[in-house]
Structures are given as structure tokens and as C-alpha cells.
Structure 1
Amino acid sequence: MAAARGLVERGRRAAVGAARGAALAGLTALAGLTVGAPARADLSDDAARVARMWSLSGARVARLPPIFIEHGRLRVLAIDPPPAGVAGASGASGAAGPKAEECLTVAFLAPRIVDFTMEPESSSGELSALEGLVHRLRGQDPEDERRIHSVAGAAAIVRCGDARETLGRMALEVLSPRGAFEVVVAASSGPPEPLEAILPERVSGPVAPRGDPGRPAEPGPLDARVARAARRARAEGAPRVAPLDMRASTVGTGQFSVKLPEGCHRLDLMAEVPSATVRRATDLDAEAREAGTGRLLDRDRSDAPDARLDFCLGEPGVVEVPFLGAAGPVKVVLSDAQWPMPPHVPGYFGARARGNLAAALKRRHAPAPRAQAIAEAVGAQGDTLVPVEVEPGRCYFAAAALVRGEMRALRISVEVGDRAARDDAGEGGEGGGVAFCSDVEESAALRVSARGGSPVWVLSVWPMD
């Protein structure tokens, strides 16, 4: 009988425990219904918020697959307008179809610490004379004005009407070490709500003004600077360094006229610092021009005490080097560091093209080609696509150079698979080059964009070890 009562007691306790467990589970489930999950805002959430807000305003919205870009790896993306009937994040579909006056918006979102620039791939178009004058009066670089810089990891661009066609290909360049990106594309009857209104946490405050840097730094004794420039040039492989000196005028100006051999040259101009306590600051500005034609080879207008000019000559010639900024009638030294013309740089396009091709190799610190070019092309004003067959597992260097005419902007870009790279010749530059490698691809797409006064350019592609 006692054993039976014990068995009944254990059963009763088990039933009570089970009931308490069920009640505790019910309370936990009820708490889960009344207390939401902690709020979390990440990159995907920001992109979804932008897509939802644009969609609620009646826009057709599409989110492209996320991308990841390393520093120095330019990425070119093809942008297609959202098709008719595409639903946004809210589920509401847009208009029935695209209209001629419709606007297209492309937004790139990255983590807030990522710094990047974006621009339409076709933005290398020629500036009008009025636009160029406005940029120069403002002290702006016209090419940099076309690039849109990110703010707190976000940037967007809007084009309406016929200008939408310029957003068909967007170039994205990461200035930070690396970054992940969400891409949101919207088509709407007018410009949509700006990103700073949808993502107020990404709005930055005003930029503090620059401080006073103080007086210019003293460059030091002239002999020590000349010796240092020669050592630096020899360390970079220059087999010959030839110095030349003259005395500046009373106002600190003068001009060298030197006969130089073919090849690449670096001219360092350094002025003596007077021993007087009260004196003008030493800040040499100089430029190099071909004698006879007056063609500009290079220019230095920096705030540094010394001037430096880099250029390459396709044949021997006389170069005139005017300067200003010396502290009175003092000794000025021109140090000419010389590098020989790289082999396999063709000369049948002319001396100007030969020098510009060599300058592209030198500026990018590319090794001298050890074989003939595998592909060559000649082009003129506008954008030119040049497909090139490549060997898987091998690297190449492509250079574009001006043959004749006047160049306002020159850009060379290459796409191999999903990788892209580009180079701009820069202000006054007449040559640009890019290095690229093929993993498994058997072809590469090279694109040369030239703007100026009747420019004619040449493209050469060399295999590299």
C-alpha cells in the first residue's frame, strides 16, 4: 500500500512540473510576441529603405546585386532602367512604361567609412568653352568636377530626358582600402527624394576651414640638394645625370636652352638661397617646351621650393626651360637625369608618338617591353573600342599616345572579365597606360577616349614578363 501511495505521489509531482513548464513556455512565447527584436541597421537595410521610399513616390525601383571592390580596382557597371511593372520595396508597381522626359537615378551605398567616387563612363565628353572658363575661374579641375564624391559612404546621380543615356555605364573607384556596395536604380517622372533626406544619419556637418601653414620651408644648401637629386635619379636607374647652371635675373627669372638626346628626362631646377636675413622666398616654377614648335612637354607650378619636369623625347632636340621664383640674382642649377628609350617602342608613328608612349611606360613605372607589341591601333576624336586577343595567365601593358593635334583629355581603360582599370593622361598629358592580366580570359576590351582639337592617337599593347 505504501509503495502504491509513493507511486501516486511521484505521478502527481511530475504532472505539476509539466504544468509549470507549459505555463513558463507560454509566458516566454507571449513575451516574444510583445517585445520585438532589437533594431539593426546595416547596408542592406539602408538600401531597402531607399528603395521603399522611392517606390512609395511612384518610381520604378530595382536593386542590383551587391558588389565588392578593392582599392585601385576601377569597376565599370552596366546600368539598365527598371523595366515597366517592376515593384519597389513596398510592393507597388511603377508606371506603365518609360517616358521621354523620365528621370533615371543611380545610387551607390557603402559603409559610412568607405570613400569612393562615381561618374558616368561617358563623362569624358568635351567641355564647352563656357564650362571650361567657369571651371578655371573657380580654380577647379574640369575632369574632377565630373566625378561625384561620396559623403558618409553614399552617392547618387540623376539624369532626366535624353541625358539618361549617359548613365548606361557607371565607373566606380574606391579611395579607401576596400568596400562593399549596394546599388539602387530608380526611374521616375522627376528627381526622387535625395539620399540625405532618406538617410539623415549619413549627413555630414560643415568642413572646418584650413589653418595657416606658416612661412614656406627653407630648401637648404644648393650643393646638398643637387647631390640629393642626383642620388635619387641614379637609385631609380638613370645611367647619366648632367648638371647645368646659370644666374637668374634680378627679379628671379631666366631660361635654359638645352639640347637633349632621345629618351626620358627628369629636369630638377634648384635655386640658391641668399644669405641675407630679409629675402624673398624661393619657389621655382618652370616649364619645358620644344624649341621651334613651342609644344609644352611638362609644367611645374607647385608650392615646392624646387621645380621638377618629367617628359620623354622620341628624337634628339632642343628644349627651352623658362623659370621664375628665384630669390633674386642667384645661382640656378638644372640637373638632367636621363633614361634611354625603352626597346620595342615603335618609331614609325613619329617622334611625338614615340616619346608619348615611352612617357606612359615611365609614368606607370612599367618595365621596358621585351617583345614587340601584340596589337596596335590608330584612332581619332571620340570613344574607340579596340578588342585584343590575350593569352590566359599572362600580363600586358597598353599605352595610348597622341600622334598629332591638340589633346584636352585622354583616357585609356581596359576590361578583362569582371575586372577593369583605367588611366587619365592628366592636364597637358599626351599619353596614358594601364597594366592588366588575364586569368582564364582570351580577350580584353580596350577603350580609348580622346577629346581635343583634331587629335590622332596610337595604341600599343605589349606582353610583359
Structure 2
Amino acid sequence: MAAARGAPERGRAAVSGVARAAAVARAARVAAVALLAALAGLSVGAPARADLSDDAARVARMWSLSGARVARRPPLFVEHGRSRLIAITPPPSGAAGAAGAPGGDGASRAPGAAGAGRAKADECLTVAFLAPRIVEFTVEPEPAPGDASAIEGLVHRLRGRDPDDERRVHSAAGAAMITRCGPARDELRRVTVDVLSPRGALEIVVAASDGAPERVQSILPERAFGPVAPRGDPGRPADPGPLDVRVVRAARRARADGALRVVPTEMRASVVGTGQFSVKLSGGCHRIDLMAEVPRATVRRATDIDAEAREAGTGRLLDRDRSDAPDARLDFCLGAPGVVEVPFLGAAGPVKVVLSDAQWPLPAYVPGHFGARARGNLAAALHRRHAPAPRAQPIAEAVGMQGDTLVPVQVEPGRCYFAAAALVRGELRALRISAEVGDRAARDDAGERSEGAGVAFCSELEESAAVRVAARGNSPVWALAVWPMD
């Protein structure tokens, strides 16, 4: 009987041991799953870096902890060239608790919400503007009509100074902050934002406090920047000097560059400083200098001539000058005589304007059977590279279209060559020519308004060269010529 009773007891003990082991295993599996979940939460639960909204929430939270009344405006999307005028209203009483998110309650979301409370006489109003760190913008308090600052600004502008440079705040690392205390708080009732970058999002945080709150750069150390040098004032534009002296100087400079003759033409500009020359030019390369007389009056407009040259009849643009220099310069080549129109603007009123045309002849061995346009563009490629005029006919010629084209050329060892590609017809967006001789290569790209490119190369022991032409545009057709050079 005792033995019979012992067996069931040992069986029950074995069963209970298995149950305990199974329970321990289940607990271990649960703990493992919980640990994996916790690790996953650590890895994906928080972003790797704070975004723009998080930066604005951090600024609002830190200002709230210092006792300020804080409100966040809804974010804005701003673009370059489109100023935004933003109305700023002090945060209402009790807005500090809703500073963590834009529009946390009705009072902090609406700029003109009721229950704003009465501000203290010496209270400070602070506005922080936050954008992505690569976005550059300016903020400027907008004076109301009739304000003394607006009248002073008008006086400064009449005297040639821009007072906005003193009022405007430039962003640094995508952040800008303005604080006004006491009666000066009224300057922040309207703020103008101008974006210098193409576009960007903007977060705005407004705080009212007894004193100036902590700087944004202290709260967001990743937006801190080093010392910034003052922008300075470049002053008034330089006086180019008397017109007669500049005309003589331009002619002397052109003759030093090899021009055969210089022909001046003059006219009087309109009352707004505009006009147009229409001149008949010979075939060849031309350098046109446009110079305007500078009035001797004390108060005058700055002289900054901008001009362009166009082929009469077709309207084809030959060259354009939009620089900030007082005089304009245009360089182009014509394959045949023709009329060129030169409109201009930027003269200081109805003053005398002189067009000085320096002329270089067309090289004798530039082929003309491709047409006058191609002949002028081939000559322009030689002239732009200051290459000497060829003394022999081209050893190779080719015609191509859009795309990349390889032209093999037979060359003589120990001799140098010049290869030029020029547009025959169509519209050109890009033109490149390259020459490969052995393990050496040279290339040239046509300029923004040029229709020809040229490259020089020499052969040592090689008897062949590979000339490549790449053209992009609207149905362009180009011509290639390769000349031997002495």
C-alpha cells in the first residue's frame, strides 16, 4: 500500500515540475517580447532629429517655463519676391499653457482673440521667426502711416540713404528674433517678411514677458552662429568721368587689341534715359561701347547703361549687357554687312549718348558656303579665343545636328590646329567642342549668348585627332572647320 501511494505522489510531483517549467518558459518569452518591443520603441519611437515644428515647440516651452505668455501662430509658406505682412498680437492671458503646439486652444490660435488682458506698461513683446536652416530671410517692423519713423524714412531716402537697413533684421541659420519693450511694442503690430531664398516654411512664436526672454540661439544651439561682420554701405555709384575722355579711352583700348578702325555715333536719350541706335555695320567682328554723359547737377540719377544688339529684320540677339557698370559693352561678329539695332536704357535723363564701334575684318579663310550666320559665328570663335587669322583653307569641314558627333581628322605630326564649331540655323541651348590627340584633350563651351566655340590643339607624333561636337537646342544645325595654324 505504501508503495502504491508513493507512485501517484511522484507522478503528481513530476507533473507540477513540468507545469512550473512551462510557466517559467512562458514568462521568459513574454519578457523577451517586451524587451524587443522596448528596443524597437527606442529605435523608431523618436525621430533622429527635430523638425521645424519641434524647434518652435522647444522655444515656446522654454519661454513658457521662464514665466512668459507664449502663443504660436499657424505656420506660413513664403516665396521669394512675395513679401508677407504679418499682424502680431500679444498672447492672451493664460496662453502659456498652450504653447506646446500651434493653436493649442482658441485664444492662442487666433491673433485677435478676445480676453487678451491688459499688458503692463513696461512689458516686452518678442517675436521669433524660424525656418529651415538653409533658408535666408529678413523681417522688418512696418511703421504705420503718419508715424515719425515713416517720415524719417522718407527724408533718409531723399538724401540717398536707406533707413530700412537699420530696421531690417536678417536671419542667421534660419532664425530671427525681434524684441520691443514698453511703448516700443507698437512697432511689432505689423511685421514684413521677405525671403531671399527661393521659398520656405516659417514658424512664428510670440511671447509677452517682463523682460527680454532667452535668445533663440541659446535654446537651439544647433542654430548658433559666429560673429557676423556688418554689411557696410558701399556708397553712391562711382562717377565714370567726362564722356569725351571715356570715348577716347575706349578707342585707344580697341586699337591696342588690333581694331582697324573705330567709328563713333551719337544721339540724345529720352527724358527717362532710353533710346535706340540703328547702325549699318560691315561684315566682321565688332565691339560696341555705349557711353552716356553724366550731368553735372548735384541731384541726379546714377548712370548705368544696359543695352543689347539685335539683327534688324530677324530680331536675332547678338549680345547683351546687363552689368552694373556705367558703360555697356557688346561683342559679336557678322558674316555679311547688315543693320544692327542697339536699344539701351539707364542714362541719367536727356543726355548725350555715344556708340563707339570698333571693327575687325573677317579672316580670309573662314568659309562662307555655310551661310552668313555660320561665317560670323566661326569668326567669333576665333576672335573670342584671340587666335591668329588662319593662313590656309580648312583641312576638314563637317556639318552636324543635335546630339554628339565624332569627326576624325588627319593631322601632321609636329603641327598645331584650330577647330571651330558654329551654329548654321535653329536655336542653340548648349554647344561644346573638344579635340583629343593621343592622351591629351582640350575643350571649349559656347557662352550664354554665343553661337560658336573653338579649341586649339597640337600633334606631337600622332597622325590623327578626334574632334567631338555636342549640340543641344531646338533643331540646331552646326558647321565645323579645322584650320592648320603656323
Q: TM-score category by the smaller chain?
A: 0.5 to 0.7
- Asked if the contact 1:247/1:332 (under 8 Å) is kept, the reply is yes
Asked whether the equivalents of residues 407 and 428 of structure 1 are also in contact (C-alpha less than 8 Å), the reply is: no
Who is 2:461 aligned against? 440
Residue in 1 aligned with 2:384?
A: 363
Structure 1 residue 235 corresponds to structure 2 residue 256: yes
Letter in structure 1 aligned against 2:421: A
Q: Decide whether aligned partners of structure 1 residues 444 and 284 sit closer, same or farther in structure 2, where only a CA change above 3 A counts.
A: same
Distance 1:387 1:226, change over 3 A: same
Q: Which amino acid aligns with 1:302?
A: S
* Superposition pairs of residues 135-174 of structure 1, within 5 angstroms: none
Work out the percentage of aligned pairs sharing the same amino acid.
86
Work out whether 1:425 is the aligned partner of 2:446: yes
- Counterpart residue identity of residue 475, structure 2: S
1:44-63 equivalences in 2 (<5 Å):
none
What SS class does the counterpart of residue 362 from structure 2 fall into? coil
Tell me if the contact between 1:288 and 1:321 (Cα under 8 Å) persists in the aligned partners.
yes
1:454 aligned residue (458, 463, 475): 475
Alignment partners' CA distance in 2, 1:240 and 1:210 = 45
Match of 2:341 in 1: 320
Partner of 1:54: none
User: How far, CA to CA, are the matches of 2:227 and 2:417 in structure 1?
Assistant: 45
**Per-residue deviation, residues 329-370 of structure 1 (Å, max 9, x unmatched):** 100000000111111000000000000000000000000000
Task: Say which SS state the counterpart of residue 216 (structure 1) adopts.
Answer: coil
Question: Contact 1:411–1:423 at 8 Å: present in 2 too?
Answer: yes
Q: Which residue identity is paired with 2:357?
A: D
TM-aligned CA distance change 1:266 to 1:206, over 3 Å: farther
Query: What is the DSSP-based 3-state SS (H/G/I as helix, E as strand, rest coil) of the residue aligned with 1:387?
Result: strand
- Where 1:359 maps in the other structure, the secondary structure is helix
Number of residue pairs matched by the alignment: 263
What is the 5 A alignment of 1:3-42?
Answer: none
Q: Return the TM-score normalized by structure 1.
A: 0.55
1:17-416 equivalences under 5 Å are: 212-416=233-437
Q: Deviations over 1:175-220 (max 9, x none)?
A: xxxxxxxxxxxxxxxxxxxxxxxxxxxxxx9998976543321110
| Partner deviation per Cα, 1:140-161 (whole Å, 9 max, x = no partner) | xxxxxxxxxxxxxxxxxxxxxx
Residue 208 to residue 294, structure 1, CA distance change in 2 (3 Å): farther
SS of equivalent residue, structure 1 residue 386: strand
Change (3 A) 1:393 1:211: farther
Residue number in structure 2 paired with 1:180? none
CA distance in 2, matches of 1:387, 1:277: 65
| Between 411-420 and 350-359, the greater mean CA deviation after superposition | 411-420
Sort the Cα spacing of 1:426 and 1:210 in 2 relative to 1 into closer, same or farther, 3 A.
farther
Give the Cα–Cα distance (whole angstroms) in 1 for the partners of residues 455 and 302 of structure 2.
Answer: 39
Q: Offset of 1:389 from its aligned partner?
A: 1.1
How many angstroms apart in 2 are the aligned matches of 1:263 and 1:461?
A: 19
Q: Secondary structure at the match of 2:444?
A: strand
Secondary structure of the 1:232 match is helix
User: Which AA in structure 2 matches 1:295?
Assistant: R
Question: Which residue identity is paired with 2:456?
Answer: A
Q: Does the 8 A contact of 1:382 with 1:451 survive in 2?
A: yes
Q: Answer 1 or 2: higher relative contact order, Cα 8 Å, separation at least 6.
A: 1
AA paired with 2:382? L
SS of equivalent residue, structure 2 residue 364? coil
TM-score between the two structures when normalised by the length of structure 2: 0.53
Aligned pair in 2 of structure 1 residues 314, 274: CA closer, same or farther (>3 Å)?
same
Structure-1 residue corresponding to 2:40 = none
CA shift for structure 1 position 443:
1.2
Report the equivalent of 1:172.
none
How many angstroms does 1:248 deviate by? 0.4
Contact 1:266 1:338 in 2 (8 A): yes
Partners of 1:255 and 1:320 within 8 A in 2 = yes
Q: Is the 8 A contact 1:244 1:335 kept in 2?
A: yes
Distance 1:210 1:370, change over 3 A: farther
**CA–CA separation in structure 1 for the residues paired with 2:230 and 2:419:** 42
TM superposition shift of 1:312: 0.7
1:325 is matched by which residue type in structure 2? G
Contact kept, 8 Å, 1:244 with 1:333, in 2: the verdict is yes
Q: Deviations over 1:400-428 (max 9, x none)?
A: 00000000111111111221111111112
Question: Alpha-carbon deviations, 1:22-49, whole Å to 9, x = none?
Answer: xxxxxxxxxxxxxxxxxxxxxxxxxxxx
The answer for unaligned runs of 5 or more in structure 1 is 1-135, 138-204
Q: Secondary structure at the match of 1:251?
A: coil
| Counterpart Cα distance in 1 of 2:455 and 2:430 | 16
Structure showing greater radius of gyration is 2
Q: Distance in 1 between matches of 2:231 and 2:484?
A: 47
